[in-house]
Chains A and B, each alone.
Chain A
């Protein structure tokens, strides 16, 4: 805060090894999760959508509060089954 509190004064009392290990842990976990996520997205993109019948891949997933996207999800068994 300009004129009131310098960055060095506002440091939290957390020691360097704790900060370091959490940083490394976040990097490792994010690489795994986002790596796998990118792989699955690319695989989904490699397959063309089936058209009117709705995409089996999208229907075959967890139950969702909202649909996936308005377009392809509409009219799928999933979208139909969960109107209030």
Chain B
């Protein structure tokens, strides 16, 4: 049987982007929630809860972006010029929040500044990612084999809404992560925030999904046409189930369940986007097969990916295992 290499690679890239969104999502969420916690001690615990894993989480973005260049060069060449501004804003935001992890421990005078840098950088990065998603969903203007739109095309009411949705959604992931990793008053506080952001996230997913369906007739028929609607209706059904699991976990003093439920909401939203896009990689312009590099390149790179991705997954899982359990409030305070 002939392997459909572009399809396999589309799955791998999608997996890398999804891994990035759910993993970096919760640690960006910690930064987004920073302004709500004024106590220095709380903030130390919050950063320490993600300090061992956040940089590993961010590396999935490199696989997603670098992989796109290698295996879907045409998608890379059209998407990145279209999203130039939000991607640059995201990178600069990530720079600020990355150094804030270290710098906020090195100064007493300016630690407030770095705390703001951490919160601001995280929020900008999350908002830019949401805008990039919205800009891709609403379609980018491709002529021939190149991007043909302007440099402000990404900014529309729809992309602004998806930007806000991602910020709120990441805040939900961060709050449920804190509910998992902390104890006492901080955990109680995180749980209340998780309820509020959970309701807001669900509402925003609903609004964005409906708006998406009316953006383009292809999207509409995927979700409301007969008979595809029967299959795609599984996604909103499972989403409702996850939302219930989130609410149930938060009201019944469960620590892991709300976090997993919030992750499930993100995974399902991502699958929903996949259902809307397929078989396109740049909606309305380029399909997965049109954008793919030659099969020889795809096969060559796949050999590396088949070896490396499982290894990365294993040691990432091991890192989470080593740092499992609640954060000791005295840790890092000797």
Contact = CB atoms under 8 A, between A and B. Distances in A.
Contact of B52 (A25, A61, A65): A65
B244 to A, nearest CB: 34
Interface in A1-46: 12-15, 17-18, 22, 25-26, 29-30, 33, 36-37, 40, 43-44
Interface in B94-127: 95-96, 99, 101-103, 105-107, 110
Interface stretch (B144-152, B170-178, B265-273, B279-287): B144-152
A33 B53 CA distance: 22
Contacts of A17: 151
A77 B92 CA distance: 34
Interface string B55-89: 01000000000000000000001001100110010
Contact of B331 (A14, A44, A63): A63
A84 interface: yes
A61 B331 contact: no
Interface string A44-84: 10000000000010011111110000000000111001101
B48 interface: yes
A64 B334 contact: no
B84 A62 contact: no
Q: At the interface, is chain A mostly helix, strand, loop or mixed? A: helix
B105 A18 contact: no
Q: Looking at chain B, what size class is its interface with the partner chain?
A: 35 or more
Contacts of A62: 47-48, 51, 101-102, 105, 332
A33 B92 CA distance: 11
B334 A44 contact: no
B333 interface: yes
Contact of A22 (B84, B95, B102, B322): B84
A29 B103 contact: no
Contacts of B48: 62-63
Interface of A: 12-15, 17-18, 22, 25-26, 29-30, 33, 36-37, 40, 43-44, 56, 59-65, 76-78, 81-82, 84
11 contacts: A12-B81, A13-B148, A14-B81, A18-B151, A22-B88, A37-B99, A59-B332, A60-B332, A61-B106, A63-B48, A64-B52
Interface of B: 47-48, 51-53, 56, 77, 80-81, 84-85, 88, 92, 95-96, 99, 101-103, 105-107, 110, 146-148, 150-151, 319, 322-323, 331-334
